[in-house]
Every structure is written in C-alpha cells, then in structure tokens.
Amino acid sequence: MIKEFESGIQEYKLGKLRKKDINPNPIVQFGKWLDEAISSQVMEPTAMTLATATPDGKLSSRIVLLRELNDEGFIFYSSYKSWKGKQILLNHYGALSFYWPEVERQVRIEGYIKKVDSKTSDNYFSTRTKGRKLGAWIMLQSRKIPNREYLENLYEEQKKQFAGKEIPRPLDWGGYILKPGRIEFWQGRENRLNDRILYEKKNMRWQIHRLAP
C-alpha cells in the first residue's frame, strides 16, 4: 500500500530567524524560545524526544520531560535500570529534539549524557507528589510484566510499606544531564526555505553557522 501526504502540508509563515537577532549563548537562546513556546500555550512545551544508542549503534527514542535547564545543559529524570539508562551507561552520547508546531519551531541538541549529583536528584525527588514517589519505587521501567494488575498490586504494596513515612529517593532513580556540543534552531518559513541556525562547540567556544534548509 502506498500513501501520499503532500497535499495537506501547512505553509509556515509565523516567523523568521536571523543570526543578528540570536543570543551568542545557545542555552540562553533556547530559554528564550522555551519561554515563547510556553506563552504561546504550546501543548507540553517541555516534552522532548530523547535518542540513545547501544555501543554498536542500535538506536531507540522516547518522549521525556525537560525538568531543568542550566548553564551546563538539559536535565531529565529516569530509572537508571530503564532501557535508556542501560544505553547511557554504555554509550554516553545522545540527542534531544523539541517540536513546537504552534510556533513553527523545532530545536535539535546533541551531546554527552551523565548522571547529575545525588543532591540534585534528591532535591527534585522531594518535589514529586506522593504517588509519583511511590511509582519510582516499583523499579520495573521497560521490563516485561504479566498484566496491569501485577503493576497495581506492586504499587499498593509500596503504599503500605511507606504508610505514614517519608518516601526517600530510590538509589536506582535519578537525574541525567545532556551537555550539548551541537544545538540547531529551526524556524519554519514559506516554500520550505526554512531558517536553520547551528551552534557548534569548538575549543570550548560556540561557533554559529547558518545551514541550508
């Protein structure tokens, strides 16, 4: 079966991206775009595709949420025993992508992933709801389970175990930071003559280039 989709493609007209208008620091530039996505009521503006790979190059990707942006990079949280955690352990390089259709923008990020320190993970874990804290203790992410009831029973067991107690962060759950070496900003334009600005880190300094669409 062959399906064609060209006829319904939208024409991009909302904005433009010029080198003279961007911040020399891509983290600052990203923060500006994220704020604009939030103010434009983009659905799930912090949702990002995280791509990781095994050492022999077998890729996988999934949607995770950006939980913190700082001068070092992009922070997200997960079980260290998840499939992504296992891949990151063996291959520290990964990629992120954000797509905000309401403002006709996307951002692609490539870099080195490492765990954040325990204090950072503890601080974030303390802000989670009780239910989400309990969920982190089930420790089954990416594993095969027999049915939904099995998962719900495990959750109820954790509820009983921590009844009336503070729920600590599991040692096998915490944060990762992706420290970028490349960040590309994409702004949709008419006739597919899209604006693409690439920041590339060379000798600890960011170089900025315009790319062809």
Token digits for 33? 């775009």
Residues comprising the chain, all counted: 213
- Of 132, 192, 196, 210, which residue is the catalytic one? 192
Give long-range contacts, CB 8 A cutoff, 24+ apart: 151-160. 158/134, 159/134
**Is 192 a known active-site residue?**
yes
Which tokens is 116 given?
């954040």
As a whole number of angstroms, the distance between CA 18 and CA 180 comes to 22
Whether 116 and 176 have beta carbons less than 8 Å apart is answered as yes
Contact partners, residue 126, CB within 8 Å, separation at least 6: 169
Backbone phi and psi for residue 60, each to the nearest 5 degrees, phi listed first: -145, 155
* Cβ 126 vs Cβ 148: under 8 Å: no
H/E stretch holding 36: helix 26-39
The SS3 call for residue 137 is: helix
Q: What is the C-alpha separation between 141 and 121, in angstroms, rounded? A: 18
Spatial contact of 52 and 84, defined as CB atoms under 8 Å apart: yes
Catalytic residue numbers read 192
